[in-house]
Amino acid sequence: MRHENSLDADYFEGIFAADEDPWGLDSESYEAAKFDDSIAAITDRRYERGFEIGCAQGALTRRLAPLCGALLAIDVSTTALDRARKRCADQPNVTFEQMAYPREQPSAARFDLMILSEVAYYWDAGDLGRAADQIAGALAPGGRILLVHWTGETDYPQTGDGAVEALWDRLHPILRVERADRREKYRLDLWRRS
Protein backbone atom coordinates (compact mmCIF):
# COMPACT_ATOMS: atom_id res chain seq x y z
CA MET A 1 0.00 0.00 0.00
CA ARG A 2 1.37 3.39 -1.03
CA HIS A 3 2.26 5.93 1.69
CA GLU A 4 0.16 9.06 1.37
CA ASN A 5 2.47 11.51 3.13
CA SER A 6 6.17 12.27 2.81
CA LEU A 7 8.31 9.75 4.64
CA ASP A 8 9.74 11.22 7.85
CA ALA A 9 13.00 11.12 9.79
CA ASP A 10 11.91 8.15 11.91
CA TYR A 11 11.34 6.05 8.78
CA PHE A 12 14.88 6.67 7.49
CA GLU A 13 16.54 6.47 10.88
CA GLY A 14 15.00 3.02 11.29
CA ILE A 15 16.32 1.92 7.90
CA PHE A 16 19.89 3.08 8.59
CA ALA A 17 19.93 1.83 12.18
CA ALA A 18 18.85 -1.65 11.09
CA ASP A 19 21.32 -2.14 8.23
CA GLU A 20 24.91 -1.11 7.56
CA ASP A 21 24.20 -0.92 3.81
CA PRO A 22 20.51 -0.33 3.17
CA TRP A 23 19.61 -0.44 -0.50
CA GLY A 24 23.05 -1.92 -1.26
CA LEU A 25 24.58 1.48 -1.96
CA ASP A 26 28.06 0.10 -1.29
CA SER A 27 27.60 -3.46 -2.51
CA GLU A 28 25.14 -3.75 -5.40
CA SER A 29 26.30 -3.61 -9.03
CA TYR A 30 23.10 -1.72 -9.87
CA GLU A 31 24.11 1.10 -7.50
CA ALA A 32 27.69 1.19 -8.79
CA ALA A 33 26.50 1.44 -12.41
CA LYS A 34 23.97 4.12 -11.48
CA PHE A 35 26.64 6.17 -9.68
CA ASP A 36 29.00 5.76 -12.68
CA ASP A 37 26.24 6.98 -15.00
CA SER A 38 25.42 9.91 -12.70
CA ILE A 39 29.01 11.13 -12.48
CA ALA A 40 29.58 10.67 -16.23
CA ALA A 41 26.59 12.94 -16.93
CA ILE A 42 28.11 15.92 -15.11
CA THR A 43 31.92 15.65 -15.45
CA ASP A 44 32.16 18.01 -18.40
CA ARG A 45 32.63 20.93 -16.02
CA ARG A 46 33.52 21.89 -12.45
CA TYR A 47 30.91 23.34 -10.09
CA GLU A 48 31.49 26.18 -7.67
CA ARG A 49 28.75 25.10 -5.24
CA GLY A 50 26.89 21.78 -5.18
CA PHE A 51 23.90 20.61 -3.15
CA GLU A 52 23.17 16.90 -2.67
CA ILE A 53 19.73 16.20 -1.24
CA GLY A 54 19.48 12.88 0.59
CA CYS A 55 23.16 11.90 0.73
CA ALA A 56 22.55 8.71 2.75
CA GLN A 57 25.91 7.22 3.75
CA GLY A 58 27.90 9.38 1.36
CA ALA A 59 28.62 6.86 -1.41
CA LEU A 60 27.72 9.33 -4.15
CA THR A 61 28.90 12.31 -2.08
CA ARG A 62 32.45 10.99 -2.13
CA ARG A 63 32.34 10.87 -5.93
CA LEU A 64 30.74 14.31 -6.25
CA ALA A 65 33.26 16.06 -3.99
CA PRO A 66 36.09 16.37 -6.57
CA LEU A 67 33.68 18.05 -9.01
CA CYS A 68 32.70 20.83 -6.60
CA GLY A 69 34.49 23.74 -5.00
CA ALA A 70 32.04 23.37 -2.10
CA LEU A 71 29.43 20.66 -1.63
CA LEU A 72 26.56 20.74 0.87
CA ALA A 73 25.22 17.22 1.48
CA ILE A 74 22.09 16.76 3.57
CA ASP A 75 20.09 13.89 4.96
CA VAL A 76 17.32 13.49 7.49
CA SER A 77 18.99 10.53 9.27
CA THR A 78 21.67 11.19 11.89
CA THR A 79 22.98 7.64 11.49
CA ALA A 80 23.39 8.10 7.74
CA LEU A 81 25.12 11.46 8.25
CA ASP A 82 27.55 10.00 10.81
CA ARG A 83 28.56 7.37 8.24
CA ALA A 84 28.81 9.94 5.44
CA ARG A 85 31.01 12.23 7.55
CA LYS A 86 33.41 9.36 8.25
CA ARG A 87 33.51 8.36 4.59
CA CYS A 88 34.28 11.90 3.46
CA ALA A 89 36.47 13.02 6.37
CA ASP A 90 39.35 13.72 3.98
CA GLN A 91 37.17 15.96 1.76
CA PRO A 92 37.38 19.44 3.35
CA ASN A 93 35.11 20.97 0.70
CA VAL A 94 32.11 18.85 1.84
CA THR A 95 29.74 20.10 4.54
CA PHE A 96 27.05 17.86 6.01
CA GLU A 97 23.82 19.02 7.61
CA GLN A 98 20.82 17.22 9.01
CA MET A 99 17.80 18.59 7.25
CA ALA A 100 14.26 17.40 6.48
CA TYR A 101 14.21 18.82 2.96
CA PRO A 102 12.11 20.37 1.48
CA ARG A 103 10.35 21.44 4.69
CA GLU A 104 13.75 22.63 5.89
CA GLN A 105 15.99 24.35 3.39
CA PRO A 106 19.52 25.70 3.32
CA SER A 107 20.09 29.40 3.85
CA ALA A 108 19.90 31.70 0.87
CA ALA A 109 22.81 30.06 -0.98
CA ARG A 110 22.79 29.64 -4.77
CA PHE A 111 23.95 26.37 -6.29
CA ASP A 112 25.21 25.55 -9.75
CA LEU A 113 24.70 21.81 -9.21
CA MET A 114 21.79 20.17 -7.39
CA ILE A 115 21.56 16.39 -7.01
CA LEU A 116 18.32 14.53 -6.31
CA SER A 117 19.31 10.88 -6.44
CA GLU A 118 16.60 8.48 -5.28
CA VAL A 119 14.82 11.05 -3.10
CA ALA A 120 11.93 12.84 -4.83
CA TYR A 121 9.58 9.87 -4.69
CA TYR A 122 9.65 9.97 -0.88
CA TRP A 123 7.76 13.29 -0.98
CA ASP A 124 4.04 13.90 -1.21
CA ALA A 125 2.58 16.45 -3.63
CA GLY A 126 2.93 19.33 -1.16
CA ASP A 127 6.60 18.63 -0.57
CA LEU A 128 7.26 18.24 -4.29
CA GLY A 129 5.80 21.73 -4.72
CA ARG A 130 8.00 23.08 -1.90
CA ALA A 131 11.05 21.43 -3.47
CA ALA A 132 10.26 22.95 -6.88
CA ASP A 133 9.92 26.41 -5.34
CA GLN A 134 13.22 26.05 -3.47
CA ILE A 135 15.01 24.77 -6.57
CA ALA A 136 13.67 27.69 -8.61
CA GLY A 137 15.05 30.11 -6.04
CA ALA A 138 18.36 28.38 -5.38
CA LEU A 139 19.55 27.21 -8.80
CA ALA A 140 22.04 29.68 -10.28
CA PRO A 141 21.79 30.78 -13.93
CA GLY A 142 23.31 28.00 -16.05
CA GLY A 143 23.11 25.65 -13.05
CA ARG A 144 22.18 22.00 -13.42
CA ILE A 145 19.88 19.58 -11.63
CA LEU A 146 20.62 15.87 -11.84
CA LEU A 147 17.72 13.58 -10.95
CA VAL A 148 18.15 9.80 -10.81
CA HIS A 149 15.25 7.61 -9.71
CA TRP A 150 14.25 3.95 -9.60
CA THR A 151 11.35 3.30 -11.98
CA GLY A 152 10.06 0.08 -10.44
CA GLU A 153 7.12 -0.27 -8.08
CA THR A 154 7.39 1.16 -4.57
CA ASP A 155 5.12 1.94 -1.65
CA TYR A 156 6.44 5.51 -1.50
CA PRO A 157 4.15 8.54 -1.95
CA GLN A 158 5.28 8.88 -5.61
CA THR A 159 6.70 6.71 -8.34
CA GLY A 160 10.07 7.72 -9.79
CA ASP A 161 8.38 8.80 -13.00
CA GLY A 162 5.59 10.63 -11.18
CA ALA A 163 7.97 12.57 -8.94
CA VAL A 164 10.24 13.68 -11.78
CA GLU A 165 7.29 14.65 -13.97
CA ALA A 166 5.72 16.66 -11.11
CA LEU A 167 8.96 18.60 -10.63
CA TRP A 168 9.28 19.17 -14.39
CA ASP A 169 5.70 20.48 -14.57
CA ARG A 170 6.60 23.16 -12.03
CA LEU A 171 10.12 23.94 -13.24
CA HIS A 172 10.04 23.64 -17.03
CA PRO A 173 9.55 27.38 -17.64
CA ILE A 174 13.07 28.06 -16.30
CA LEU A 175 14.84 24.86 -17.39
CA ARG A 176 15.85 22.96 -20.49
CA VAL A 177 16.53 19.25 -20.80
CA GLU A 178 20.16 18.28 -21.37
CA ARG A 179 19.62 14.53 -20.93
CA ALA A 180 16.66 12.24 -20.39
CA ASP A 181 17.88 8.64 -20.25
CA ARG A 182 15.99 5.52 -19.29
CA ARG A 183 17.85 2.46 -18.15
CA GLU A 184 16.41 -0.93 -17.28
CA LYS A 185 15.64 0.04 -13.66
CA TYR A 186 16.08 3.79 -13.37
CA ARG A 187 15.81 7.10 -15.16
CA LEU A 188 18.45 9.83 -15.30
CA ASP A 189 17.38 13.39 -16.03
CA LEU A 190 19.76 16.32 -16.36
CA TRP A 191 18.21 19.77 -16.55
CA ARG A 192 19.88 23.15 -16.94
CA ARG A 193 18.65 26.57 -15.96
CA SER A 194 18.14 28.76 -19.02
The predicted structure's pLDDT at residue 22: 85
Inside any domain, residue 109: yes
Q: Give the span between the Cα atoms of 178 and 58, in whole angstroms.
A: 26
Q: What's the whole-number mean pLDDT along residues 80-107?
A: 96
| 111 neighbors 146 (Cβ within 8 angstroms) | no
Inside any domain, residue 4: no
Inside any domain, residue 1: no
Pairing, β 47-53 against β 68-75: parallel
**88 φ, ψ (degrees, to nearest 5):** -110, 20
Q: Quick check: 108 pLDDT over 80? A: no
Inside any domain, residue 32: yes
Could you give the number of structural domains in the chain? 1
- DSSP secondary structure letter of residue 26: T
Inside any domain, residue 173: yes
Listed in sequence order, the residues at least 6 apart from 15 whose beta carbon sits closer than 8 Å to its beta carbon are 22, 77
Q: Quick check: 64 pLDDT over 80? A: yes
Q: What is the CATH number of the domain that holds 145?
A: 3.40.50.150
The predicted structure's pLDDT at residue 21: 86
Inside any domain, residue 27: yes
pLDDT band at 68 (very low <50, low <70, confident <90, very high): very high
Inside any domain, residue 140: yes
Q: Quick check: 72 pLDDT over 90? A: yes
Inside any domain, residue 167: yes
The predicted structure's pLDDT at residue 135: 97
Distances in Å between the Cα of 18 and the Cα atoms of 43, 76, 88 are 34, 16, 22
Of these ranges, 14-18, 30-34, 44-48, the one predicted with the greatest mean pLDDT is: 44-48
> Can you give the residue range of the structural domain that contains 124?
9-193
pLDDT per position as a tens digit, 109-136 = 899 999 999 999 999 999 999 999 999 9
The predicted structure's pLDDT at residue 123: 98
pTM: 0.96
